[in-house]
Amino acid sequence: MEAMEDVVEMTAVSKVYGKGGSAVAALREVSVGLPRGVFTAVMGPSGSGKSTFLQCAAGLDRPSSGRVTLAGTDLTRLGETKLTELRRTRLGFVFQSFNLVASLTVAQNITLPLRLAGVRPDRAWLAEIVARTGLGDRLGHRPAELSGGQRQRVAVARALVSRPEVVFADEPTGALDTVTARQVLTLLREAADALGQTVVMVTHDPVAAAFADRVLFLADGRVAGTLDSPGADSVAARMTRLGAWSVA
C-alpha cells in the first residue's frame, strides 16, 4: 500500500475502566495511524479492546491517557460541546443496531446529521449516495417498513451524507444475514474505492474483514499486528493464532 496521510493518529492511548482492584485495562498504550481513503477492519478476540478502540478513535469516549488526533485536531483536548460538533460534522457512524429514528422517513433519517448541523444538503451528493445505497424507491418509508439490510443501508447513507473524514462502523453486519451483510460490506468497500472515504470497521467476522484493505489485530488491549490485502482464510488463521478460537 502506498504511503498515505493518517487521518486518525492514536499515540500511546490507554483506557482503564474502573478503579483499584477491579480496574480493567481495555487499551494499553496503543499507537497507530489510520490512513486516509483506506478501509481498515479491527479484529481481535472477545474483550481485546475493539469497541474501546473505536470509541476512543471516534471521540465517543476519552482515553485515560494518550492522544487521539483527527486530521490534526486533538480530540483529547476538546470540550464536550466541540467534541459533539466534531462528531456530527466530521465523522460518520454505523452501528450494529442501525440507530435510525423510527418516526422519520428514510430521506429524513439520511439528512438528519445535516439538519442537526444546520447545513443544507448538497443535492448532487445526496442523489449519489441514495443511488449507491439503492434506496431511491424507499425514501418515503419509515424504518419499521424496511428489512434489516435496507435499514443498515440507510445508516450507511446517513453516515456518508456529511462527507465525513472517517466513517466508523461497529459490527455493522452483526445483525444481518450473509447475503444482506455482503451488500452492506460492498457499500462500505465502494465508499472507499469510489468516494475516497476512510472507513474503520470493528468486526468478528473474517469474511467481513476481507472486504477491508487492511486488518488491525488487537489482543489484550494492544496492537498485535496488521494484515494488508486480507483474505478470509488468512484473517481466520491469524485470529486462531491470537487465541480467538480454539482449534479442535
Contacts with ligand ATP, residue ranges (CB under 6 A): 17-18, 24, 26, 44, 46-52
Nearer to ligand ATP, 4 or 24 (CB): 24
User: Strand 198-202 and strand 166-170: pairing?
Assistant: parallel
- Nearer to ligand ATP among residue 24 and residue 237 (C-beta): 24
Least Å distance, CB 240 to ligand ATP, is: 16
The one-letter code for the residue type at 37 is G
Name the minimum Å distance from CB 33 to ligand ATP. 20
Between 190 and 220, CB nearer to ligand ATP: 220
Contact yes or no for 114/146 (Cβ under 8 A): no
- Which H or E run contains 150? helix 148-160
Q: How many residues are present in the chain? A: 248
Provide, for the chain, the percentages of residues in helix, strand and coil under a 3-state DSSP scheme, each rounded to the nearest 5: 40, 25, 35
Residue 17 has which C-alpha cell?
475502566
Going by C-beta distance under 8 Å and a sequence separation of 6 or more, which residues neighbour residue 21? none
For residue 246, the tally of other CB atoms under 10 A from its CB is 6
Nearer to ligand ATP, 44 or 143 (CB): 44
Q: Min. distance of Cβ 222 from ligand ATP in angstroms?
A: 12
Smallest distance from the beta carbon of 209 to ligand ATP, in angstroms? Answer: 13
Q: What's the closest the beta carbon of residue 40 comes to ligand ATP, in angstroms? A: 15
DSSP one-letter code for 61:
S
Which of 14/183 has CB closer to ligand ATP?
A: 14
**DSSP three-state, residue 29:** strand
In whole angstroms, how close is the CB of 15 to ligand ATP at the nearest point? 8
Q: CB neighbours of 115 closer than 8 A, spacing ≥ 6?
A: none
For ligand ATP, the closer CB: 14 or 51 = 51
Angle at alpha carbon of residue 160, lines to 159 and 163, rounded to 5°: 125
